[in-house]
A = this chain, B = another copy of it.
């Protein structure tokens, strides 16, 4: 290496090398469509949601203990970009009738599919102009939602949840800011916990990152530890119902390869039709070493929505 090349120039050079040598490329449409769930399929991994899946999860409820996995929704949450969650209180009736009834409500404004603890449906992401199962973006994006693949079609999810505690594996409260979780990390964490992933499970990854929630929002959204391409592809092979984590994008952000933008979003949502669950609140679950549980999740049935803010629970 020419010792005079350094700093930004070096970074560009390395990035260029990196990109030409190794950048992840999305598969061609013909390679990914039709999806393994069939040519007309819009449900992807939610096809795992069957009576036997529910029963399998219900059998894990032994003590009735409930863990709340959703953060409180407020204007002081960390937000990505210009997203908002604003509550405007309205007093709409005051002292009405002989019973002196008063009424209050609120108008709420926000990117409701993509704030707080959030569930990603498939219209959230594309490869070029193409959605999951090669539904074309242009035909489906209307001014007020997506004609196909909208979150209203997902329905409630109840399945066996498995916490994969990578922070505990590494002996830290919180993984470093740009730590890429590898397939080995996931496998070792599962071994340590004496768990295995089964098809249809919810794979929930604990990074410890949510310790920053409303404590250091700027750091929370700037980068985050998370799964890389290799870990995502290994997880996709395990055939889960969803992959969740306690960070804002599940995946490592930004990707160590500067040429690609949030590739795990494409791998999961577009290529494999696997839902994501972001900004989870996992501290109590990890502290209790509750590695296996019934996960219950009720996405709002937003017509044509790209996702939904949610308040999931783990029960054991």
Contact = CB atoms under 8 A, between A and B. Distances in A.
Contacts of A99: 23-26, 127, 259-261, 263, 266
A143 interface: yes
Interface stretch (A2-10, A108-116, A203-211, A238-246): A108-116
A87 B262 contact: no
Give me the 9 closest cross-chain CB pairs, A-B, nearest first. Answer: A51-B64, A97-B261, A102-B126, A54-B64, A74-B303, A108-B112, A55-B64, A58-B61, A96-B261
Contact of A143 (B25, B89, B144, B302): B89
Contacts of A51: 63-66
Contacts of A100: 26, 127-128
Interface string A30-69: 0000000000000000000111111100100101111010
A141 B64 contact: no
Q: Which has the most chain B C-beta neighbours within 10 Å: A19, A109, A138, A146?
A: A109
Contact of A296 (B83, B103, B298): B298
Contact of A87 (B81, B259, B296, B303): B303
Nearest to A262: B101
A51 B158 CA distance: 18
A300 interface: yes
Contact of A107 (B64, B93, B109): B109
17 contacts: A70-B298, A83-B105, A87-B302, A87-B305, A89-B143, A90-B90, A93-B261, A98-B259, A101-B126, A101-B260, A103-B125, A106-B306, A107-B110, A116-B301, A297-B298, A298-B311, A298-B312
A186 B72 CA distance: 37
A259 B97 contact: yes
Interface of A: 19, 23-26, 49-55, 58, 61, 63-66, 68, 70-75, 81-84, 86-114, 116, 123-129, 137-138, 141-146, 152, 155-156, 158, 259-263, 265-266, 296-307, 309-313, 315
A143 B88 contact: yes
Nearest to A58: B61
A102 B141 CA distance: 12
Nearest to A61: B58
B64 A58 contact: yes
B301 A144 contact: no
Contacts of A50: 64
Given A109-B86, A302-B108, A311-B298, A103 B126 contact: yes
A25 B98 CA distance: 7
Contact of A68 (B88, B95, B155, B312): B155
Contacts of A300: 73, 300, 309-311
A162 B152 CA distance: 26
